[in-house]
Structure 1
Amino acid sequence: MTNVFSLDSTAITRIEEKMRFKRGVAQAREKELFDIFEKPMSEEEAWALKFLYAYMPLNDLADYEGCLFLNHVRTTLEIREDVRWGRRVPDHEFLHFVLPYRVNNENIEDSRGWFFGQLVDRVKNLSMEQAILEINHWCHEKATYVGCDPRTVSPLTMVRNTLGRCGEQSTLLVAALRSLCIPARQCYTPRWAHCDSNHAWVEAWADGKWYFLGACEPEPRLNEGWFRGPAKRAMLVNTRVAANYPGPEELTLAHPWYSEINLLSPYAPSKKITIRVKDEKGNPVPGATVIFQVYNYADFSPIATIPADERGEAFLTAGLGDLLIHSVSGNFWGTKKISVKDADVFDIQLSDKLPQNGISVFDMVPPQELADATEDAITEAEKQENNRRIQEGASIRKKYEASFVDTLQAEELAKKLSLPASRVRDILEKARGNSHEIAAFLQEYTPRYGEWTLRLLESLNVKDLTDTFGLTLADHLIQSAVFKEMFDEETFMRYVLCPRVHFEMIRPYRKFFLEIFTDSEQRSFRDDPVKLVGWLSEHFEIVEDLNYYQGMATPIGSFRLQKGDRLSRDILFVALARSLGIPARLEPSERSPQFRFGESWNDVVFLQQGDPERTDLSDNKEIGSIRFIANAAADNDLEYFRNFSLARFENGQYKTLQFTAGKKDFYEESLVVKTGSYRLTTGTRLPDGTARVQFATFTVLPDRTTEIIPALTKESVQAPVLGSVDPDLSFSFFNGKRSALGELAERRGLLMAWIDPDREPTKHLIRELRELSKEYDDWGGSICLVVEDDKVTAAFQPNAYEGLPAETDFAKDVSSKGLQSVLTGIQSELQYNLPLVFVVDRECRIRYLSAGYKLGIGKEALQVVRQLDEESVWAR
């Protein structure tokens, strides 16, 4: 028994049992992980360490050593004693929201003490609420938003590179807050219902109350942020805790190794609904899996997965929009679209019948948009001081970014090494705070390996360049170089040389793997890669359900532990194969492991007996194909995860094929796929966020081509007159020009937007304009992006925005006078949320407007300007 951390007898017993279980699972790494318990430590240290181990994901048991976790515990407990509010933080909040070393799926580093040292002097005389705001200002000095791949870099990498997506910004802020013994948690709306994508922010605890804030986006007060309005339309807001969490919040999932907490109620109107799962005779189906899905990126994404109780019922507090409910139990399944606001209880019936081929059309309606008002408005003085701090933070960040390898240095290095200057410049620019490390690698290894040093770097994802170091790169270059003459350059670079398999952290592993096997074994595996599959089948144990992020162990960690989830095993196979000179990959649509032998890709099948089967795609009788046929009466701009997706029915569920987002070449050649029942999902977003969805279900037969005509109907665009603007309103551009609004609009109309360049919503708009650059150039009208003077920070450089439509210019708006003039001409109330986007016709009438965060503004505005162009043609 112990009184440490207010643990009761039930919690103590549970921790001890889970600790023993983890020790058994990780016995292959007993010394590295558990020898630390032989060291002298206090009772508090011992129980903190046991708590972390008890709920530690399997991936962390594979990749890290006990000394890291002990150092983390000791530093955290010391900080609790050092800060004034440390002992005011209750044990419940401390255990669940201060002690944990992990926030998301980031690489773990012993960084808590470093963050404490950076921040303690800035907050030592502040209240907890003031400290939270101050720490967020520090995070803004270190990092800002950029869209990037879903791998989460560590907080230290964020500080080093200054850019990351919202999930990484919030990981940084949570890590920083916890380093000062402030309870903090990363919050997600898993998927928006009214537009694509999702968002992450932070909740922090101060003196008995939880507050929210946007990570690296400072506001004058807590419970503020640009996402506050969109969050009112959320279907779910949740956070994940590595524990059997005892509350007080509602749980969406009480998993044996982690919990998911439902945090929606403070953000959005909501209600608790019950899903009753029944069989074909109307009997309850206990234990059925109930998946709550929203339409997002032309697919149906799960926001919660909840097992039905003994009465066949599953519960969720959700926003007042539409959900697609999918339930499965063994071979029985069922799907039903519901509107949360319509009822409290919904029945879904399961059947073992295969999906019927056919078409279904329906709307997915999100929660309605609500006014975002605050009772206690922020004063002008508070706004000005916060803007001053934001300007100051951006200047600090900009000064640090000036230390990165610059264009001149990159070109000098390229010349010295006889490498193409543009390619070296591109790599070093992407490497950001890691650019000196990458430059040193090029300088050391190019004289011996020539352009392959550069080719290795080009084979990586952009984010890999920011946190992969020279020793790691050298391992992959040196050990793979002996195989380069065995393959054509493309095959060698992508499937042998490249260390990136999925979204795992890249580590050096090739030399290690090559030393494990004798030369004879290596030759045997290369001559017949099926033998490698067999070896791994015998030596690796699948352990599912211990990770809340799949496939995040490194290959060398999985190998040493000899256990992991299936995705980690598949990643390990690819890494082993490439290390041995066997081209390998995760297949692009299925993410299943394959090796290349001769001229064909072969599926890998792991059997528990260690007796693998080879499946050669060129001879597989269970393979068919899908051919898309263009419809002359429809919009034929197919783009994966924008307006369509494809899923195969498997084990009672639809498994979405994972083609690259944005892939467009679907009419050019047939897709080779496994046979079975498929569902084509197409969808169009309406201006209010409603998704007009069509399911087309069909069957792919062996050795047959199934032809499909995607239903991408063109929506009629409404462009009512919403007001008018003064044609004499003058814009002063950053390039020195000055033009009147009427002059800008007279030729083809005008797209103008008031933006905040340092905030995520504006960065999404800029990205969309880049992606639609060709289409806007075809239109040919003016695009005016306006920045108010208090939003112009040191980080804002108009010349740095490459790839925008040719007629785009940035303008200044001193004291917001231009915006005030535009707003006076609008005939309806409009909330002041940036970006504010307007389409103005040639008569200076406002025909479209959008306020605040929403993905798809660029496409909506493009549809309007095209329609206005057609109107002008008919008028002439």
Structure 2
Amino acid sequence: MNDRYVLDSTWKDTVLHKFEYKKKLAKSRHDQLFRVFDEALTEEERFLLQMLYAYMPLNDLADYNGELFLSHVRTTLEIRGLVPWGKSVPEHLFVHFVLPYRVNNENIEDSRGLLFKQLFKRVKGLGLTDAILETNYWCHERATYTGNDPRTVSPLTLMRTTLGRCGEQSTLAVAALRSLGIPARQCYTPRWAHCDSNHAWVEAWDGQSWRFLGACEPEARLDQGWFKAPAARAMLVNTRVPSNYPGPEEITLAHPWYTEINLLNQYAPSKTIKVNAVYPDGTPAAAKISFQLYNFAELSTIVTKQSDAALQVSLTTGFGNLYIHAASDTAWNSMLINPADGDEFTIYLTSEQEIDGLVQEFDMVPPLPAAESAKENVPEHEQLRNNERIQDGARIRSAYEATFMSEEETARLAEKLSLPADRVWAVISKARGNSHELALFLQEQTPLHGNWPLKLLESLNAKDLTDTFRPALNDHLSGSLPFLEQHGPEIFASYLLCPRIHYEMIVPYKQRFQQSFTQEDQAHFREEPQTLYDRIAGEYEIIEDMNYFNGSSTPIGSFELLKGDRLCLHIMLTAAARSLGIPARLHPDDRWPQYWSSGIWTDVQFAVSSGDDASSALQGPSSGYIQLIRDASASEQEAVYSNNFTLARWEEGLFKTLTLPFGKKDGFDLPIEVLKGRYRLTTGTRLQDGTAMVRLTYFHVQAGETTEVGLIFRKKDAEIPVLGTADEAMKTALFLPEIQLDQAVESYGAVVAWIEPDREPSKHLLRELRELSDEFDEWGGPIVLAAGEDKLTASFALYRDTSLPRQASFHKDRRYSGLNALTDSLDISPSLEFPAVLVLDTEDRIRYFSTGYKLGIGREVLDIARKMK
């Protein structure tokens, strides 16, 4: 392969053409973005900067200035000259996997040089493989896993807070590796097939090939990690490259502004299938085909592909069921397939489908677990050294966390400011490394404005408290208080004072919007809010599919660029309204902009230009109602939104899931207000092997009417197998001498789990136990959590975790005697993955067993335990 093949004249011409297009697109921010090209640039600097602009998403054109990107290019080139492997990295890897400044949807900061200064002294003198491993140890010292909202924080924010989800951990690790000139990329399985959620990890180039690693979760060697077994059941593993990337990997999606490549072959058994969409008479159809999995109780798209010149779509995928949805301009259809059944599939599209009242039932069967293979024989001294490094990393992280404001310090601050200590601690504790910044904000503003600075902080999401600073907080406080007397305190706090609208980055914007309109205009807008939306939307151009993630621009960035996707427009309009004293929000279900008028929420009605069709009109929605009718005789399952059922509305040729509160399980006896239109109710029952028993119900909602829909779940097999028996020796080993549980077990049974408290799979289990705490308390049986001493780190805090069920207790299984007894009893491999979870019934029989990563274990265990009681 020619190392410089991407820099031939044709490829360069494409970059320059796209760069010129972006210049025209961003002409309203020309000076902020493009004046850096007037500086004295080398030919290489100029081209690499042009490449960044050529493939830059719209939100980056809206939110950042050229100085940031020029600094990034110059720092990257300087680093390439300093690291020993810099000149040996092939040019195509450098421009695609070292140069990019963005990894996910994080806030962009000029961090490459800062990361390099911290890391280079630790990898200087190492080869590439050892440098990759050392970088991950450094990442582990700075962050560990926690679940949180979808907004990805920047690497610097993650380092400030030390807690992040896998997408944020892998963003940090990729940024750290690239800051050393090491090609790196974030890998995702968009959705698991065998359980809910997804996962992200990292691949890095070791000088010969791509190797994988768990971000912030070091192993002694590369190509290891707890996710290796679940990844062997994946249906797609991909990464996004910000360019027209030419390979050599399979291209899943060749988008004009980015490329998604398929990495599945490295992780799971796979094959390439072809799908043909045809009309009833057999005529081939040009169609978009979405490949979907059952996940979070919806049919979730893992990739959508447009048919090629041969009017086919191909995909390399795993050996599990896929639900495919195909749509042309005039027709559509859906069907269930299994790649094991053939190499080519045909789906027949039709425009005449009477589906209202239709009920479909089918099973979504995931790929089988991979057969256990011989693990790489890592020498014991390497394993011990890795454990020592993990322990050291946790101590370093804990020492930094000790610099966060304590509850005692917070109480003194609250007393000084005459604020409720519990409320102040609620926000300060969530701010973590940003706690001192928020304390200064309260110190400066509370004497002037009483409780309102605290109420502003309370209006934010937990993650906002970690990366929102005083300039933004001061802007939103001072920009909102003039309207305090015009509305009730609840409306004012939530829909005027609060800067959070969706998942965009919070920045100062209220004074900027206020300065953009005369006092007379502002007064007119408050009298007639619709006129504000008309004014701004009339100047805005909707351009879809040019942001990696919809709604990513800040409100002020969208206002300055006057271009972006529809969600960015809705966010910006809502921010402008709040800035001018008009309570505003996005509708919780469909994110349509609304304003508060005469005591009710009013839908915005407006027309905007969209691409070349300047006359396209967006009319305000009309509402109807869905009344879910629970048939108690049909199933014993508790209805939990996004756990076992969802509602989806037909929009633009696809059913799109409504954004009702995640985990909601009450209030469904009342009608749900929705837009009129065609809907689909999805219910699912997940079996222990990962199979989902799916039921789809189609119906129509008319404006002003209520549609009743049966909320019915397919039943599991009621028989719970007996997997083994815990004899006296095993019980003694399981429960350890200091735990007296015989009487409790005889009454309730027991749940026993061996965990790695500092690893993501065990943290998911603990989170589920917390979320189901009340229900486990109602059950009343013991929950024994055990871990070996080699799995405990300085960040372990379960001893004082009062959010777990009351009957949960933690114990050290020092020599793994309990775990060894279990593996002997069940005749399973002693090298099983954590968490290892079992349920005992009242007769000491093992009725449930799970090992390794899987979401939903908590509810499975609860269901079994209830039946055993």
Which residue does the alignment assign to 2:535?
535
Instruction: Please give the residue correspondences for 1:167-566 in structure 2 after superposition, counting only pairs within 5 Å.
Output: 167-286=167-286, 288-357=287-356, 358-566=358-566
How big is the shift at 1:100? 0.3
CA displacement, residues 558-591 of structure 1 (integer Å, 9 cap, x when unaligned)? 1111111111111100000000111111111111
Matches of 1:489 and 1:371, distance apart in 2: 60
SS of the residue corresponding to residue 422 of structure 2 reads helix
Q: Is the 8 A contact 1:839 1:846 kept in 2?
A: yes
Which residue does the alignment assign to 2:586?
586
Which residue does the alignment assign to 1:640?
641
TM-score of the superposition, structure 1-length normalised? 0.96
CA displacement, residues 208-230 of structure 1 (integer Å, 9 cap, x when unaligned)? 21000000000010000000000
Q: Is the 8 A contact 1:679 1:696 kept in 2?
A: yes
Q: 1:277 to 1:714 in 2, by over 3 A?
A: closer
Amino acid at match of 2:43: E
Q: Is the 8 A contact 2:695 2:714 kept in 1?
A: no
SS of the residue corresponding to residue 125 of structure 1 reads coil
Matches of 1:40 and 1:571, distance apart in 2: 38
Which residue does the alignment assign to 1:838?
838
Amino acid at match of 1:247: G
Matches of 1:482 and 1:605, distance apart in 2: 27
Task: Let me know the Cα RMSD of the aligned residues.
Answer: 2.0
Mapped pair 1:27 → 2:27: yes
Which residue does the alignment assign to 1:154?
154
Which residue does the alignment assign to 2:40?
40
Q: 1:108 to 1:494 in 2, by over 3 A?
A: same
Matches of 2:208 and 2:247, distance apart in 1: 14
User: Please, which moves more after superposition, 606-615 or 796-805?
Assistant: 606-615
Q: Is the 8 A contact 1:459 1:494 kept in 2?
A: yes
CA displacement, residues 263-292 of structure 1 (integer Å, 9 cap, x when unaligned)? 001100111010101122211112x11111
SS of the residue corresponding to residue 747 of structure 1 reads helix
Instruction: Please give the residue correspondences for 1:740-779 in structure 2 after superposition, counting only pairs within 5 Å.
Output: 742=742, 745-779=745-779
How big is the shift at 1:731? 7.7
Which residue does the alignment assign to 1:700?
701
Which residue does the alignment assign to 1:115?
115
How big is the shift at 1:730? 7.7
Which residue does the alignment assign to 2:665?
664
CA displacement, residues 30-52 of structure 1 (integer Å, 9 cap, x when unaligned)? 11111111111211111111111
Q: How many residues align?
A: 862
SS of the residue corresponding to residue 266 of structure 2 reads coil
Matches of 1:355 and 1:377, distance apart in 2: 59
Q: Is the 8 A contact 1:649 1:676 kept in 2?
A: yes
Q: Is the 8 A contact 1:570 1:592 kept in 2?
A: yes
Matches of 1:169 and 1:305, distance apart in 2: 27
CA displacement, residues 297-339 of structure 1 (integer Å, 9 cap, x when unaligned)? 0001110111001222111001110111111122311111111
Matches of 1:732 and 1:426, distance apart in 2: 41
CA displacement, residues 793-840 of structure 1 (integer Å, 9 cap, x when unaligned)? 100122342311100100001132232122222244565100000112
User: Please, which moves more after superposition, 839-848 or 698-707?
Assistant: 839-848
User: Please, which moves more after superposition, 671-680 or 156-165?
Assistant: 671-680
Q: 1:576 to 1:800 in 2, by over 3 A?
A: farther
Q: 1:270 to 1:797 in 2, by over 3 A?
A: same
Q: 1:825 to 1:166 in 2, by over 3 A?
A: same
Which residue does the alignment assign to 1:874?
none
Matches of 2:268 and 2:605, distance apart in 1: 46
Mapped pair 1:129 → 2:129: yes
Matches of 1:69 and 1:415, distance apart in 2: 45
Matches of 2:242 and 2:827, distance apart in 1: 51
Mapped pair 1:17 → 2:17: yes
SS of the residue corresponding to residue 785 of structure 2 reads strand
Q: Is the 8 A contact 2:236 2:318 kept in 1?
A: yes
Matches of 2:732 and 2:187, distance apart in 1: 40
Segments of structure 1 that go 5 or more residues without pairing to the other structure are 870-876
Matches of 1:615 and 1:185, distance apart in 2: 42
SS of the residue corresponding to residue 201 of structure 2 reads strand
Matches of 1:359 and 1:452, distance apart in 2: 52
Matches of 1:561 and 1:651, distance apart in 2: 26
Amino acid at match of 1:34: F
SS of the residue corresponding to residue 362 of structure 1 reads strand
Matches of 2:208 and 2:387, distance apart in 1: 29
How big is the shift at 1:714? 4.4
Q: Is the 8 A contact 1:729 1:741 kept in 2?
A: no
How big is the shift at 1:375? 4.7
Q: Is the 8 A contact 1:605 1:613 kept in 2?
A: no
Matches of 2:450 and 2:616, distance apart in 1: 39
How big is the shift at 1:356? 1.1
Amino acid at match of 1:45: E
SS of the residue corresponding to residue 322 of structure 2 reads strand
How big is the shift at 1:704? 1.7
CA displacement, residues 578-629 of structure 1 (integer Å, 9 cap, x when unaligned)? 0011111111111111112112222223313799999787xxxx42211112
Matches of 1:638 and 1:549, distance apart in 2: 30
Matches of 1:838 and 1:427, distance apart in 2: 37
Matches of 2:354 and 2:425, distance apart in 1: 52
Amino acid at match of 1:685: R
Amino acid at match of 1:185: R
Q: Is the 8 A contact 2:604 2:620 kept in 1?
A: no
Q: Is the 8 A contact 2:684 2:714 kept in 1?
A: no
Q: Is the 8 A contact 1:537 1:611 kept in 2?
A: no
SS of the residue corresponding to residue 229 of structure 1 reads helix
User: Please, which moves more after superposition, 7-16 or 743-752?
Assistant: 743-752
Q: Is the 8 A contact 1:431 1:462 kept in 2?
A: yes
Q: Is the 8 A contact 1:786 1:812 kept in 2?
A: yes
How big is the shift at 1:156? 0.3
SS of the residue corresponding to residue 347 of structure 1 reads strand
Matches of 2:285 and 2:714, distance apart in 1: 39
Q: Is the 8 A contact 1:830 1:851 kept in 2?
A: no
Q: Is the 8 A contact 1:732 1:811 kept in 2?
A: no
CA displacement, residues 684-743 of structure 1 (integer Å, 9 cap, x when unaligned)? 100110000000111112322111120124424543222233435688999x99125645
Which residue does the alignment assign to 1:687?
688
Which residue does the alignment assign to 1:710?
711
CA displacement, residues 346-383 of structure 1 (integer Å, 9 cap, x when unaligned)? 11111122451211111000001113434522222222
Amino acid at match of 2:315: L
Matches of 2:216 and 2:855, distance apart in 1: 21
Matches of 2:210 and 2:719, distance apart in 1: 42
User: Please, which moves more after superposition, 677-686 or 532-541?
Assistant: 532-541
SS of the residue corresponding to residue 293 of structure 1 reads strand
Which residue does the alignment assign to 1:84?
84
Matches of 1:830 and 1:686, distance apart in 2: 25
Matched residues, percent identical?
52
Q: Is the 8 A contact 1:627 1:669 kept in 2?
A: yes
Amino acid at match of 1:556: I
Matches of 1:749 and 1:630, distance apart in 2: 30
Q: 1:380 to 1:815 in 2, by over 3 A?
A: farther
SS of the residue corresponding to residue 280 of structure 2 reads coil
Matches of 1:718 and 1:208, distance apart in 2: 52
Matches of 1:435 and 1:773, distance apart in 2: 29
Instruction: Please give the residue correspondences for 1:64-75 in structure 2 after superposition, counting only pairs within 5 Å.
Output: 64-75=64-75
SS of the residue corresponding to residue 431 of structure 2 reads helix
Q: Is the 8 A contact 2:649 2:680 kept in 1?
A: yes
TM-score of the superposition, structure 2-length normalised? 0.96
CA displacement, residues 143-171 of structure 1 (integer Å, 9 cap, x when unaligned)? 00000000000000000000000000000
